[in-house]
Copies of this chain bind each other. A is one copy, B any other.
Amino acid sequence: MSDTFIINPSFYKLDATLKKLRNHWQQAFDKQQKDITVDQWLVMENLYKHTRTTHKQLAHYTDKDITTISRILDLLVKKGLVMRQASSDDRRKVYLELTPAGVDKYTDVRPLVLELRRIGWHGLSEKDFEDLTRILDVIAHNLP
């Protein structure tokens, strides 16, 4: 990689694209009155996929800080979409579960999310997807 590219900002474009993507998703959520944020959706998606999950595991799945997970869950619990259940085998642990209302919310929002992904990838090939994945992996791997 020559210095020409070192001169260019490296995370600026990533940041700008991600913000645009996130805002587009959020506006679509808001327009359809889903009453949920993009990150709350990401958390719920993982709770749907992984049952009997702890805060720590969820933080790993979503690549979020455990403190951030704790606060997002506060909001989801307040909305009645998620339940916290104290573990009996290890009393430090708290298991997380979507409530019936949470499952309803998931099935309600899911089609919109698939459509948004379709829009985001429009005009890109599978090779592009693989390249993007690989490049991001290399960047992440370059960091300790």
Contacts and interface: CB of A to CB of B under 8 A. Distances in A.
A50 B9 CA distance: 15
A139 to B, nearest CB: 6
A142 to B, nearest CB: 5
Given A131-B135, A135-B124, A21 B17 contact: no
Copies of this chain held together in the complex: 2
Report, as a range, how many residues of chain A touch the other chain. Answer: 35 or more
Contact of A132 (B12, B118, B135): B135
B118 A6 contact: yes
Contact of A121 (B1, B62, B116): B1
Given A11-B18, A63-B16, A133-B13, A142 B128 contact: no
A64 to B, nearest CB: 8
A138 B123 contact: yes
Contacts of A2: 126
A117 B139 CA distance: 10
B5 A14 contact: no
A20 B21 CA distance: 18
A124 B143 contact: no
Interface of A: 1-2, 4-22, 24-25, 38, 42, 45, 62-63, 114, 116-126, 128-129, 131-133, 135-136, 138-144
